[in-house]
Every structure is written in C-alpha cells, then in structure tokens.
Amino acid sequence: MDLSSVAMPTGTFTIGKRFRFEAGHRLPGLPPEHKCSRQHGHSYEVEVVLTAPDLEEPGFVTDFGALGPFKAFLDAELDHRNLHEVLPFEPTSERLAQFLAGWFMQNLQPKIPGRLVAVAVSETPSSWARFEVEGK
C-alpha cells in the first residue's frame, strides 16, 4: 500500500497532559457531620487540555515540555499543603479546576502555542470535576 495516498482530513488537534500533587483540605461550608468538613487528603490528578487548528513544527499543538511551569506551580504552591489555608476560596474540585485554568491562562498560555480548552481535577480515581474555558 502506498501510504502517501492517504488523505489527511481537516479538523482540530487536541492534546492533554496529566499532573499529580498531594494535598489536604476541608470544606467548612458543609455540615459538621459531613465527612468532607473534616480535614482529609487526596492524591490529586490535574489534566490540562489544549487545542489548535494548526500544528507548530515539528508537528505539535504545544510541546509537552513547555507545560513544565504549570507542574512547577503545582509543586511550589499546592503540593503537600492544606488547600483551604493557601487558596482564596473553599477548595472544591470545581473551584480548583477553575482557578488552575485561570492561572494557566494568565501565566502560561501567552507564552505557548495552543489554546486551553479545559482543566479537570480528580480527587480520587472515580471522581472528577472539569472546568471548560469559553472559546474565543
């Protein structure tokens, strides 16, 4: 088979990268009998999703290595911290996803190709929250 005869369809490219950090929190806005109102911890997983209509050379939406500053931020500011002590809001997964999207857009997106589409935050392997960035 001549592989050069395969037509490349048009469309949009999307990539994702996962990051991990460990942190504790409590949600004091919940009733005292709710287990999450007490101090507890999670092995958080954060996924950023980026898109682009065209690829940068050599064929990337964004070089995964260019996302290193996001990992450095997670490590320096959130890893092994009590999130309710360092964040200016009650640290639910939903609000954390929104906050991390804001940090990414403010600090990293202007310096890299591709556009942030979403940030997902998982507290456990079976529960997650996703913040979708409105398109421009």
CATH number at residue 89: 3.30.479.10
For the question of residue 84 being annotated catalytic, the response is no
Q: Which domain holds residue 113?
A: 11-132
For the question of residue 77 being annotated catalytic, the response is no
For the question of residue 36 being annotated catalytic, the response is yes
pLDDT tens digit sequence for 65-78: 999 999 999 999 99
CA dihedral for 41, 39, 78, 87, sign (positive or negative): positive
pLDDT at site 60: 96
Set 40, 123, 132, 134: catalytic member: 123
Set 34, 36, 45, 132: catalytic member: 36
Full-model pTM: 0.93
Set 34, 77, 80, 85: catalytic member: 80
> Is residue 15 in some structural domain?
yes
Residue reference for tokens 């809001």: 89
> Is residue 4 in some structural domain?
no
